[in-house]
Every structure is written in structure tokens, then in C-alpha cells.
Amino acid sequence: MHYPYQIESYDAYKIAYQKSIKDPAAFWGDIAENFTWHKKWDEVLNWNFTEPKIEWFKGGKLNITENCLDRHLEKQADMPALIWEPNDPEEHHRIITYRKLHEKVCQFAHVLKNNGVKKGDRICIYMGMIPELAIAVLASARIGAVHSVVFGGFSAQSIADRLYDAQAEFVVTCDGAYRGAKDIPLKSVIDDALIGNRTVKKVIVCTRTRTPVSMIKGRDVWWEDEIKKVETMGLHDFPAEIMDAEDPLFILYTSGSTGKPKGVVHTCGGYMVYTNYTFVNVFQYKTGDIHFCTADIGWITGHSYIVYGPLSAGATTLIFEGVPTFPDASRFWDIVDKFKVNILYTAPTAIRSLMGFGLGPLQGKNLSSLKILGTVGEPINEEAWHWYSEHVGKNNCPVVDTWWQTETGGCLISNLAGITPAVPSWATLPMPGLEMLLVDENGKEVIAQGDETVSGNLCIKSPWPGILRTTYGDHERCRTNYFATYPNLYFTGDGALRDKNGFYRITGRVDDVLNVSGHRIGTAELENAINMHAGVVESAVVGYPHDVKGQGIYAFVIYQGSHGQDTHGTGELVRKDILQTITRIIGAIAKPDKIQFVTGLPKTRSGKIMRRILRKIAEGELDSVGDISTLLDPGVVEEIKNGRL
Ligand code: WT7
């Protein structure tokens, strides 16, 4: 495919950027012309950040899967769309061409239809990283349903909450999933999640692990049986549902500073244009390149840069079922070597973890196919950046540091590979269309005096096509979360530095959200889970620097239960019980690294927990906890310091 909007020089970037700011409608309208539409939009952009109301390409009619599949059939039907590498390197990989993927998506769209799915229905997808996950996502889009993919590491309780919030009527899952040495019983987790559920009518179960499952009559059906029915009828095509550009495409739940995850809603037209545009430009994709994004499709990175971005660009995208360290720490390099991967996109936490194994795992692996490296999810420290660039990229591959969020749909700040300058641990320049600014606590814009580097809270002045439209079922929550902190601005929740060249360096969240191994965890949500444990009176959770995970989780817990104290009084049993509770309520990904039992928490007279103090203690900066005179009981600080783990 040819991308007339691919930026090929630094000057071209500057020109595109200027144009995009001067006339966003003309800029994005031109780009949108390169897609397949059934009807052109009435208006490119209509917006205000007060409600907020954001509409891109409204009145335009399309189906994103025609852009991801059908339009490639004429010229590249036999090109691989998906390459799938299984968890077990001994098992055979799969290659699925555009022709085959189109057929499989259409067939599964028939299955969905046969099971009662209609346009607008919510489908929860809870699967491992197998091609059928991408197929289920695309079939949902094909029929005009709204998918809500839930990462395979979330607990039954988390799924139940998400099913309820979305009022989902359908679930697509697997019997189980392989991840490294583990075998996760997905269907059984779904069965638990469905106890007491009143909305789900059908569960479609794809076979992967052959783990025994209980299939409930009338509710549960096998993927393979349903496909067979469609095949018997000779159905290979499924007419795509015609959607408005502003019809919802999917919901993806993410954590914030309140106790309950929110369902970020993305729509069809703008999301498609934005993920495609950023994919083509950030990674400088060239037809035939093999793109390997190591994220799980359960996160936004997988939605945008395994599925929609690459496929809408006619790219070859690699899906890896396993983890970087199974069967050993060479796995990524084996995959690069085996499939001659050209673009590798991963998380700093994975790089740091692999760094820990030294250079041995890289030895004898041919990485010469690599052209471009990318990182996402958290700030990358310079040491990891250099290791990645030197030992993986052999000093021959640009590294892109892509900053973005579930809410932004695609990359917002990133260098463009080999086109705009890379600076270790700086995300650098905003994408065209993005007018960023830094503000202080009072919302006043921070403007540099001369050449100084300034810091502030990162905000955005106007919408880009990939911005979230609402939080599902609660528009007010969307307003207060993102658009109310600073009037008429989108607030990212991140702090950042900006240098004299206008380059940005993201310093991390400024709200009560942790970023652990690139996964977002809300402290309030985690505290709620800890407090569910019968013996826990109260808890407070903060982050602290962690060599591999970026941030580790430190929990301070007031425990008054009598049960479970072991003979040494270390509370080891209680700790395990609390971890088990968190695994049940949220999932294993939210388990704290440290749990310290305390008799009180540092609170102000009005009852507010002073997290600043706890953060300092967790970081080990015991002498810089600052002023504690306003505390209700300043004495508690000394006790907490003495008990630090
Ligand atoms: C938060 C968003 C975007 C997909 C993965 C995470 C942090 C993300 C970077 C980066 C520094 C980063 C931010 C952001 N973050 N990318 N390149 N440099 N920080 O998506 O779960 O929505 O989390 O991840 O703090 O707000 P998410």
C-alpha cells in the first residue's frame, strides 16, 4: 500500500504540524480521504470541551473492517495479515493471509449473528493471544457490535463488574490460555463471573487448551461447532454493517483515581484514521515489513498497534501468545530471527527484565532484519534505552518512545522513526494535530523564559481524531475526569518537562494512579480490594521506584483481625490472605510488592490520608517527609518509618 500522508523528512513533519494546527479540519479531512467510506462525512470536526462533545467525520458512513480487510483483497490477498507464534516454540506457528483473515472474520460474524448479536450490542471478549482473539474483535466490528476486551489476567469479579457496567449480552472466551509455564482456565473464570449475571445470553467458547470446561445448555456454545454450521452453508462473506463515523467501536476499561474502572469509548471513524496515521508515521511502516508489537490485545496498545493500525494499513502483524522469558529469555530474539521481524514495539519493563539476563540470550540470534524499535507504557530510563538501541538495534535502528493513553486511541507524543530526532528518555515532539501545553496547579500555562526547560501538568488544547468520546454509561464522569480539572483543556494526568526545542519528557502520573510494568492501577481501586479482606480496617497504597517494573506497589495496612497471625508475629499468613483477596477482586497484576502493617495512617484533622508522607517513606527518603505538624497524630509517622520494609 502507498501512504500519501507518510511523513518523510523533519521538514515535512514541521510543515504537516503547522498545517494541522492552522486548519485541523482540512488536515484530517485530507487524510481521511485515503480510506474506504460508503458516504462522505458532513463535517470533519465539531467539538467543545465543556460538555464535552467531540465529533469527527460525523455523517460519514463506513465499516472499519472493510478498511482493515476488504480493501486489501484486490492487491494483496495472499500477503500475510497475521503471523501467530504460539506459547510453546515446539508447536507450529500460523500464517493467515488477508484473504483467509477476511473469510474467517466474515464466518465468525455469521456465528455472532446466528447467536443473536445485533448492531450496538456489547460483546465481552476474554481470550488468550490466539488469532481467534483478533478474529473475534474484527467480527464484532464487522457486525457493528461494541467489543469490550478484558485482559486474561483479570479476575472473575473484575469481569463481572465490566459485564454489568457495559450491560453485555454476549461473551467470547476460550477453554483456557497458555502464558509461559501457566495455563489459565478462562472459561471457568467466566463461569464464576456469570454467577448472578442477568444480561449475558450466550457464551461462545473457542478451544485452545482442552482444559475440561462445563458447558451450560442453552447458554454456552463451541466456536468450532458454530463455524462448522456456517461452513456447511457455504458462507464466506458477510456484508459489513454500515456504521456512522461516530458510532461506538469499542469500550476498553481502565483505572483512574476513583474506585471503579471506567469504560473508555472509542468510535469508528476517528479511531480508524488516527491509529492508521500514527502507525504509518511513528513506525514509518513500509509495505511488506513485519511488525511485532508484544502487548496483549487486552490493552489499548494491542487494539491500536496489533489489530486496527497495522491491518488498516495492510501490514503484516505478529501475534505472540507467550511471555518474553518462556521457555527462556531468548524468546523475543528467537521470534525476531525466525520471522525476520522489522519493527519491534515493546515496554520498558520487558527491556529491563531482559537486560537482567545479560547478553547471553542475544548470542547467536540474527537480529539484522530489525529496522525500527519502539517503547510504550511508561517512562524509559536512559540505561534501558541505550541497552535496547545498542544490543537489540545494534546502533542501527531508530528507537521511538511513544507516549499515549487508553483515552487517546493512538500515540500523541513520539519521535517518528528515523525522521525526527530521538533523545533517550524523551518522547520528544507531539504528533501533527496535537497542541500540548503545560500548566501549573492553578491551571496557569507554564511558559519558558528563554532557553529554560519547564515542567508542569500536561494538557491538550483541542481534540484529535483518536480522543475518547465518553466513558460508557456516565458522560459526566468523562467530563469530571478529563475536562474539568482545567477548563477547556483535556488533562492527561501526567506531569512533563518541555525543553527549549519543544521536546517533551514525561515524568509520570500526577494523580493517584500507579503504573506497574506498564499497567495502570488505581490506588483507590486497590485499597478497596485490600479493605475487602475481613481483618483489614484501613489501607493506603503508594508507588515506589522499582528496577524492573518501573513502579512497585507499597501497601500500608491496619489489620485488626485475630485470625491468621503466625507464631512469629510477622503477619506472613495475613499477607498471603490479603494477596489472595486482591487476586480475587482485581487480578494477580495488582498484587503489592510490599505490605507493611501499621497501627495508624498519617491523616489530616479532616481525615485525609497524606500520601505524600507515605510515598516518601516507601521511597526510603525518611528524612524528607516534610511538615507533619498538621497531622492528627504526628507520632504515627515515626512508627511507620521504623517499620519500613
Ligand atoms: C499512561 C497511560 C499507551 C498504551 C499503554 C499504557 C504512561 C504511556 C508512556 C511513555 C512515559 C508513558 C503515562 C500514561 N505512559 N506511555 N512513552 N513515556 N509514560 O496505556 O494504561 O492507558 O496508561 O501510561 O503515565 O498516562 P494506559
Using a 6 Å cutoff on CB, does residue 493 contact ligand 1? Answer: yes
Residue 62 sits in the same domain as residue 188:
yes
Distance 438 CA to ligand 1 centre (A): 17
**How many domains is the chain partitioned into structurally?**
2
Residue 536 sits in the same domain as residue 455:
no
Residue 599 sits in the same domain as residue 496:
no
Phi-psi region of 443 (alpha: psi -120 to 50; beta: other; left: phi over 0): left
**Residue located nearest, by CA, to atom 2 of ligand 1:** 405
CATH number for the domain spanning 558: value is 3.30.300.30
Residue 327 sits in the same domain as residue 392:
yes
Distance 403 CA to ligand 1 centre (A): 6
Q: Looking at 459, 481, 511, which one is the last position of a domain?
A: 511
Using a 6 Å cutoff on CB, does residue 509 contact ligand 1? Answer: yes
Against a cut of 0.85, is the pTM above it? Answer: yes
Phi-psi region of 626 (alpha: psi -120 to 50; beta: other; left: phi over 0): left
Report CA torsion sign: 324, 326, 332, 336.
negative
Cβ-proximal residues to 339 (8 Å cutoff; 6+ apart), any chain? 83, 85, 93, 290, 292, 318
Distance 383 CA to ligand 1 centre (A): 19
Using a 6 Å cutoff on CB, does residue 302 contact ligand 1? Answer: no
Q: Looking at 511, 526, 554, which one is the last position of a domain?
A: 511
**CA-atom Rg of the chain in angstroms:** 24
Instruction: Return the pLDDT at 266.
Output: 98
Instruction: Return the pLDDT at 320.
Output: 98
Residue 330 sits in the same domain as residue 418:
yes
Q: Which atom from ligand 1 is nearest to the alpha carbon of 413?
A: 17
380/640 Cα distance (integer angstroms) = 31
Residue 92 sits in the same domain as residue 226:
yes
Q: Given strand 536-546, what is the order of strands in its sheet?
A: 536-546, 550-559, 594-597
- Report, as ranges of residue numbers, the positions in the chain whose pLDDT lies below 50: none
DSSP helix/strand/coil, 84: strand
Using a 6 Å cutoff on CB, does residue 378 contact ligand 1? Answer: yes
Residue 457 sits in the same domain as residue 558:
no
Residue 424 sits in the same domain as residue 527:
no
Using a 6 Å cutoff on CB, does residue 494 contact ligand 1? Answer: yes
CATH number for the domain spanning 343: value is 3.40.50.12780
Residue 507 sits in the same domain as residue 416:
yes
**Residue located nearest, by CA, to atom 27 of ligand 1:** 405
Residue 525 sits in the same domain as residue 441:
no
17/36 Cα distance (integer angstroms) = 25
Using a 6 Å cutoff on CB, does residue 157 contact ligand 1? Answer: no
Q: Probe ligand 1: pick from 282, 299, 520, 523, max atoms within 8 Å of CB?
A: 520
Distance 434 CA to ligand 1 centre (A): 17
Instruction: Return the pLDDT at 566.
Output: 53
Residue 600 sits in the same domain as residue 478:
no
Instruction: Return the pLDDT at 625.
Output: 87
Residue 502 sits in the same domain as residue 381:
yes
Distance 162 CA to ligand 1 centre (A): 22
Q: Looking at 511, 546, 562, which one is the last position of a domain?
A: 511
Using a 6 Å cutoff on CB, does residue 427 contact ligand 1? Answer: yes
Using a 6 Å cutoff on CB, does residue 470 contact ligand 1? Answer: no
Instruction: Return the pLDDT at 569.
Output: 58
- Domain extent for 372: 1-511
